[in-house]
Structure 1
Amino acid sequence: MFANHRPRWPLYALLGLLALLLLGLLQPIGIDELLHWGIALAGHSATLPTLLLLMAALMSFGLPGSLCFWLIAPFYSPLISVPVLVMGSVAGAAGAYALGHRVGSAVRPNRLARQVLTLLARRSDFLTQCALRILPAFPHAFINLAAGVLHLPLTSFLLAAVLGLSIKWLVYAYAVHGMVSARLAEQSLDLSTLLPLFGLAGLLLTGSLVRRHWLRADDHAPLR
């Protein structure tokens, strides 16, 4: 009997998407283009696993894997999209950590990357890492690579990434779910949506400072 050949257009579409994202490293991709691809790919069984792997691979090399957010979150329920986004971004974080750990001092960071490196060298506790993950628009690639370069404890690094990114992706996913136009999608991520993330990040940083102060006070307390 003849084999039942399935249409190959989804495979071609995913390959085209990969080419588009790689091209985007040289020329920025607009949300309109990403939403157009998302509409074409939504519903196919291979889309989410492929985007998860693509997101992890891009972020492992410090590339903008978060572009995959616009291909996932508007078209899938947050109950589906958030776990996929968390798995992809945490896997990418682990890959970038390993890369930073391997190259170490050979890294030549730019100004912003040096600032992140200096910050984590001074304060790399769990609460601070969570706060940086939650902050809107904070460059996760710099956190991942800097953590590897500094040889921060992998367990706390991954736990902070899971917790911080879960909160962040949950807020973002609920905000843009169902949005199929760039204008509406961008409007959904306005200050009223992002303000709770800033507030939570501020609370975590405050908690980190208080904890550091208490530990310092205990170290200087006279022995009885």
Structure 2
Amino acid sequence: LTASRAGVIAAVDAERQRIERDLHDGLQQRLVALGMLLGRARRSRDPGTARELLVQAHGDIQRAIDDLREVAWRVYPSALDHSSLDEVLALVAQRSAIPVQVSYTVPVRPPRPIETVLYFVACEAITNAAKHARATVISIKISPRAKGVEMLVHDDGVGGADPHGSGLQGLARRVSALDGRLEVHSPPGGPTTIRAALPCA
């Protein structure tokens, strides 16, 4: 119990650090650049130039909103309040730069903590595949198992994912906190398969 509690605290701290990096490296820098852009527009004596700068600023505001929404989703997937996990993952798949195929065959909706953990596992796997694996397709299969639910995330990338990296370790702690198991199989050359098994009624 002590080890599990320490793991949860470490996972929360790692997630806080990631949020801080996202805000600092993404949203904060975008807002600083936006302020400079608006300052140039205000100082411009050419109405045409000022209009172009304002159009650019308007686009930057929309991107800043998208960045903020992305960070918020990583903190708390509020869409699960009114949508099922498969519906939320379908939205994630639409926003992915890599095609994502989602198969969901769980007949009864799992408890919210289970859905939340599976959501984070899927999002981390998609992010890793897009950033590091050079994958061309990702498949997510969520199915019932004896006394629980299982998620398999598979990509056709180059493999080599480090199960001891901070992202996957954070997921392992999240899964372990619910008495589940996370397994990562990612040999050099690929493919990568992540399996999360969680107990539930």
Same fold flag (TM > 0.5): no
The structure with the greater share of residues assigned to strand is 2
The structure with the greater share of residues assigned to helix is 1
Output the TM-score relative to the length of structure 2. Answer: 0.28
Between the two structures, name the one with larger relative contact order (CA 8 Å, sep ≥ 6): 1
Output the TM-score relative to the length of structure 1. Answer: 0.26
